[in-house]
Each structure stands twice: as C-alpha cells, then as structure tokens.
Amino acid sequence: MARIIVITSGKGGVGKTTTAAALAMGLAQRGKRTVVIDFDVGLRNLDLIMGCERRVVYDFVNVINQEANLNQALIRDKRCDHLYVLPASQTRDKDALTKEGVGRILEELSQIYDFIVCDSPAGIEHGATMAMYFADDAVVVTNPEVSSVRDSDRMLGILSSKSRRAETNDEPIREFLLLTRYDPARVESGEMLSVDDVQDILSLNLLGIIPESKAVLTASNSGSPVILDRESDAGQAYGDMVARYLGEEVPHRFLHTEKKGFLSRLFRG
Amino acid sequence: MGDSRIETARDQGRPTPESNIMAVNSPNKVADASQGFELKAASFTLPIIRLVDSDIDAVAVRLGAKVEQAPDFFHNTPVVIDLSGFPSDAGTVGLPLLVGLLRGYGMIPFGVRGGNQEQNAAAEALELAILRDSYVRAGKSAAKANPHESDAGTELDAEPLQPRSAGISKGEPPTRRASTGSMVVARPVRSGQRVYAAGGDLSIVAAVSSGAELMADGNIHVYGPLRGRALAGMSGNLEARIFCQDLQAELVSIAGHYRVSENIPAEMRGFPVQIFLDQKILRIEKL
C-alpha cells in the first residue's frame, strides 16, 4: 500500500509545487516508486516544474472520466526511473474532480507505488479538499509571515475534520510543517517571523526549513526540481527534508546567517 | 449588505415616554391584596430591532453609527429583536453576539419575535422572552380599546410587554438542558474551527488559534495560549467563567457580555487569567 502525501498550504505562492516536485524526486532517487499528481486542475504547473510539459497527452481528468487509462496518462521522468508524473488538465475546472474518481485512481496507484505525492491547489475549495481527502500524511508549506501562518492553521483545521481519516475515525493524518522562503538575516533583524514564532502558533512536527534561494527560481524555469541542484542551499535543505520524512535524524540547517569565517575575514582584510 | 433597522414608536415624535405606556384595565387584572401583590397586564411601546442580515459584523457597524447619533436615546432602553426578516437558514449563532452587542451599547434586549423554532430555542437559552403573535394581537386590541392611543398608528412597530404566562401559571422554571455535555479537546483548535460544549464545560488542553471559536454553556478552560474567541455561558449562565493560561484572545464573552481584543488591558495579555461577570461587568483577573 502506498503512503499518500498531500502538499498543502491554503495560501498560494508559498512553494507547494516546488516542494511536491522536490519531495517526489527525492523519494524516487532513494529508490521509492513514486508518483506525483497535480491537483491544480485549470492552473497546472507541476508539469513545468518537472520539465515534462511537452510530453503531456492525457491528464488526471481524462483518467477520472475514463477517457484514458492510467498508463497512458502517467509520464515517466527522464532523470529518475522510479518517478512518474500525473499532470492536471489545463482546460477543465476543479469540479471535474470527483471523490469517487479520485479515490478510484489513488486506489489503483496504491497497488503499484510506494508514495503518492498530491500537489494541492491554493485555497480551501473543492480542488484542495479533493487533494487532501485521501491523505495519510500532510506537508503544510508555510512562509514565515502572518497571513501564510494563519492560512496554514486554517488548513490544519480542515485536515483534521474533512479528511477520509477523520470521517472514518481512523488514526489522524500525520501533519508536518515545512517552512519555506526562510531568510535568516531578515529573521535576525526582526522583519520576518522566526521558526519559533511559527511553531508557537502551529506547533507541528518540523520537516524542514528551506532558505530563500535564487536556485528555486532558476530550477523552476529550467524544469528541473531544485533538489537536483546539490550545490544550492535550497537543494540541500530539500534533501534533508526527504531524509527526515523517511525517519532519519538530520539536524536543521540554514537557520542562521553564515558567520564570516576566519579565512574570508583574512582575505578581506 | 448588512443592515439592521431600528423601528420605534418613539420616532414618531411623541411628547413624553409616559404616553407610551398603556394600562390595560380590569379584564386582565387579578388584584388580591391579601397575597401581597397584584398581577396585572400592561402594554408598552418599545423599539424593535429588525434584523435583515445574518452578518453580525456589518450590523455592528451600522448599529454603532446609529447609536452614535443619539447615545442617550438607547441608554437603558429595552428592545425587542425581530427575527422575521432574518434568513431562516442563518442559524442561531449570531444571536448571543447580537445580544452582547446591544448590551454593550447600553440597551436591554429582553425578547425576540418572528423567529423559527431553532432561533426561539436559542433565545430561550439566552433567557430572552419569546414574544408570540398572541401577545401582539392582545396589544393591538388593547390599543383599540384605549381612545388615547388609537390614533397612534404605530402598533406595527410596537411590542407589548407582558409576563410570560406559561412560566408563571405553571410555576416551572424555563427548560434547561441537563448539564452533562462537558467536553475535553486535546488537539489544537485551529483557525476556522468551532467547538461548542452544549450544556457543560469545555476544556482545551492545547492551543486555540486566532480565528477559532470556543463556545460552552458552562465554563471554558484553556491550558495553552488562547488566541481565538471564547464564549462561556452561552445559554445565559452569568456564573460561567473563562480560565486560560495565556490570554491573547480576540474576543471573550460571558453570557453575552463581551470584550474584544482591543478592550482587553495590555497588562493582562499573555498571563494566566480568569474572566467572570461581577455585577454584569466583565472582569479579567490575573490568576
């Protein structure tokens, strides 16, 4: 049975799709059979971030409507054999997602894959609730600013009341916090909420802190998940996140501004 | 668009408040000096607040503006809440807030009319009188019988005030839910979530986020930061209290007497406190 992970936030633009792509790629690189599904029907982006936009023939909605079978719609990643992408439809709207249809597809995928990563659209409407309904785990992506924190809080409330696990009185969804676009310099100068400030409100299992990084935009534009950029701090932070998700103990990095090292001071002087 | 309409007979430019009081004579009068009291019926002309929108926040804004124009007029004024224009699917949650709002402006809301069954039950829980049509008719016929009042032409907007016959004749207290509905919540109460302990106490052993709403007919205990709203004594229990370890609430209310965050003293914020009613004044005290 696959583990179904939803990447959610409530607020838009916080890094859900970037995170979904990185998590899926990270799991696949560790040999886990992984599929990542774009639930943002009508505003699909995951295919771009994954760099497979020119290979989309059939999509999620086609499979729900049984106009295509799963194998026709799944796109195999060229960089990693264990990773598949199920793109969203760009021409339909989110009402095309039905609980029965989504459930059937997730059930079918569960037979084959180890992990199913669901990239949720922003908001708390139908698309987002469909993405989280069947989840076993939830990664709540949050930026260190008040509106994002409040929206995440709201989303956590919905997760605990409107999911399949809540409705069947099953063990609740495991919730993780991923703090993205973290800028230690701005935190230190008091302009940005710190990890502690955010945790004070959300008090969740902290899966990772992704520093604000130019590498993320570059990676998105080139269609290569940022986790593949092992040189960048964001890529490394996403690598740590995947390790933590799989149960490894990894200390949190990128929490503080780089101290000027002895050598750099020597050379500057 | 949120709207509340204040309809009142006094708007008609009557000279004195006395003229608004209509004494109804003997038929309804049960005088018995030997029992130490007289039971009689009387009609009063009162302002009615007719709600036409369920958006209490919008109503609050409009009401605030209205009261601003004539603060003395509303001070200690008994008012009736007319729910007939209120969307019937809007539920009853707004009623305690509205009552608190009116009390906050110095008005004395004491009854409702035109509500559906659910709204009447909520009103009853708040110890408001349910003014049924029979009272209205009685008031109208009384007005016709009174030559001094017959030309007023304002009966539609006036609500006669009479004792609740049911309560008196049967000698029974108003029905109350049994106080067994206590609840303990061990998970954080998130923004947008609403927890109601009907008929009992509510204990939260976690944080309550801003945007969350706690309601209880009894006391509320929060063992963690309280950042949302807490409304204790929902069914009008003036003895209900709120206890919390870390007060950062957006709103606290006991039996409809409420304070918003802005009016909570800064020196209380972040401290363990208890909140209770003292002579109907909401008090916040450090523990």
**Residues A188-237: tens digit of each pLDDT:** 999 999 999 999 999 999 999 999 999 999 999 999 999 999 999 999 99
SS3 B244: strand
Distance separating alpha carbons of residues B13 and A66, to the nearest angstrom = 73
pTM for this prediction:
0.64
B193:A157 CB<8 A:
yes
- A193 versus B180: which is more confidently predicted? A193
Q: B38 - beta bridge partners?
A: B31
Between B191, B207, B227, which is nearest A203 by CB? B207
Q: For residue B150, what are the contacts with CB-CB under 8 A and spacing of at least 6?
A: B143, B144
pLDDT at B178 over 60: no
Which H or E run contains A20? helix A16-29
**Residues B146-166: tens digit of each pLDDT:** 434 333 332 333 333 333 333
Q: Quick one: A90 exposed, middle or buried, by C-beta within 10 A (0-12, 13-18, 19+)?
A: middle
CA-based nearest residue to A174, from A187, A185, A159: A159
- What is the radius of gyration, based on Cα positions, of chain B? 21
How many other CB atoms are found less than 10 A from the CB of residue B202?
28
Between B190, B206, B207, which is nearest A157 by CB? B190
Mean pLDDT of chain B: 72
| pLDDT of amino acid B96 | 78
A160:B225 CB<8 A:
no
| pLDDT of amino acid A228 | 95
**Residues B11-61: tens digit of each pLDDT:** 333 333 333 333 334 444 454 556 677 777 777 777 788 877 777 777 777
- Sort out which chain A residues have CB atoms less than 8 A from B214's CB and list them: none
pLDDT at A157 over 70: yes
- Sort out which chain A residues have CB atoms less than 8 A from B211's CB and list them: 150, 153-154
CA atoms within 13 A on the CB side of A52: 28
Q: Quick one: B224 exposed, middle or buried, by C-beta within 10 A (0-12, 13-18, 19+)?
A: middle
B192:A200 CB<8 A:
no
Q: Number of A:B CB contacts under 8 A?
A: 35
Average pLDDT (A119-148) is 95
- What is the least distance, in Å, from the CA of A157 to any CA of chain B? 5
Distances, alpha carbon B55 to alpha carbons B86, B257, B261, in Å: 10, 19, 20
- Sort out which chain A residues have CB atoms less than 8 A from B186's CB and list them: none
| Among chain A residues, CA nearest to B189 | A157
Helix then strand then coil, in percent of chain B rounded to 5, is 30, 30, 40
Distance separating alpha carbons of residues A21 and A224, to the nearest angstrom = 9
Confidence of residue B90 (pLDDT cuts 50, 70, 90): low
A201:B207 CB<8 A:
yes
pLDDT at B108 over 70: yes
Distance separating alpha carbons of residues B154 and B147, to the nearest angstrom = 14
Q: Name the pairing type of β-strands B202-204 and B183-185.
A: parallel
Q: For residue A96, what are the contacts with CB-CB under 8 A and spacing of at least 6?
A: A41, A61, A64, A65, A89
Distance separating alpha carbons of residues A99 and A88, to the nearest angstrom = 16
Between B191, B207, B225, which is nearest A154 by CB? B191
Distances, alpha carbon B136 to alpha carbons A117, A267, B132, B152, in Å: 63, 92, 7, 16
Distance separating alpha carbons of residues B20 and A92, to the nearest angstrom = 65
How many other CB atoms are found less than 10 A from the CB of residue B257?
19
pLDDT at A32 over 50: yes
**Residues A71-111: tens digit of each pLDDT:** 999 999 999 999 999 999 988 888 889 999 999 999 999 99
Distance separating alpha carbons of residues A208 and A211, to the nearest angstrom = 10
Average pLDDT (A123-142) is 95
CB B56 within 8 A of CB B91: no
